[in-house]
Structure 1
Amino acid sequence: MTRPPIRPLTPDALLDELAEAIHARGVPDAGSVRVLVDGAAAARPDRWADGLVERLRGLSRAVLRVSAWDFLRPASLRLERGRTDPDAFYDDWLDAGALVREVLAPAAAGRPVLPRLWDVETDRAVRAARVDLPPGGVLLVDGPLLLGRGLPAELEVHVSLSAGALARRTPEPDAWTLPAYARYVEEVDPGALADLVVLADHPDRPALQTRE
């Protein structure tokens, strides 16, 4: 089996290519291009998503950034098995149904999107106003463990770290999440599932892997 090509790039060049790939995607009728930027917290998918905003706007695309961390379940559900249970982190933390209902489905239909749902710090719903995203806009959703959940998207990007790099770059208080990410690799294999993979063991010397 032929392995997908891997091309070392500078961070800026890699972001340029990601933006062009998003820009080239077809748009749902009257809707927006939905892009999942997936990766462990230590891989900083939020930074890659942030880097895409300016480039996409430079291509005359309206952009809305949404973080999956703002669509977690209430603590009473999320932490039912304890605060440091990796299986709970994998299975129970993200409210995937709400993310589809409030963000991904409306974006495809050209309806206003709810940018935030839940404040983890206060453990309360956020009274956020819905945001209009013009037809042809781009919705960027970043966060961990997003792939393999049936979240609808036109493009999936996975920011990948090797097991060693992930362990080194994960702060000690968060080391309990490492088994969840190992399970994710074993059960979902996000590197094979994503349309584009950012190899980010060395953030200043990343590489881009594309599916043939």
Structure 2
Amino acid sequence: MAPRDTTDSPRLRIVEAAVGLLESGGPDAVSTRAVAAAAGMQPPAIYRHFGDKDGLLEAVAEHGYELFLESKRAQFDDTPEDPVAELRRAWDLVVEFGVSRPGLFAVMTRAAGSSSQDAHRAGLEILHGRVRRLAAAGWLRVGEELAAQIIQATGQGAVVTWHSTPADRRDPALLTVLRESMVAAVTRAEPAVPAAESGPAAAARALRAALPDDADVLTEAEQHLLREWLTRLAAQS
């Protein structure tokens, strides 16, 4: 992989300015004029370094992969004792990155198919190495290529679902369940969450789901109160 730009590189200044605009104002904020102004340069500098806006976004994606790879390399051993635990931690790291940096993650995901993304290819090599360690240890349930695709798809899907869900309805348990579904699909390891639940909370969820919207036996106020009680019971673990 090519060496990263130094901190005083005009190219890196432009990329970091674009990342800042992307994360503060979303994709619409990343115009060539705005990026140039944020980087303290003139718009022609962007075309000189990147060709066009698409070239700039490819560089932003590459920068994002480099940042992500740095965090992965700092947190993982080359020869982990437990490859399944390593898989869980790596998946969590991807999702945490995507949840905390949605704009950058979206640009990285869109650019993932580009063969020119050196950092992306390096990330894939790490993923495939992780899958090979699972296979060598006898943990793998499916073929290596399919396993890698499942790991990628569930991680990206978790991030997209999280951000597409209204903030007041986001439940961190979703991420745990998706991760363990991935582990169950890819490996022979037991899920780290219970497969089924019984007791008052489960019963309350079932009753709440079964209640008709217009139960004639109850007044509107009684229906509202019953649903509130069931919601409280259903939230108990």
TM-score (norm 1): 0.26
Give the helix-richer structure, 1 or 2. Answer: 2
Higher Rg of the two aligned structures: 2
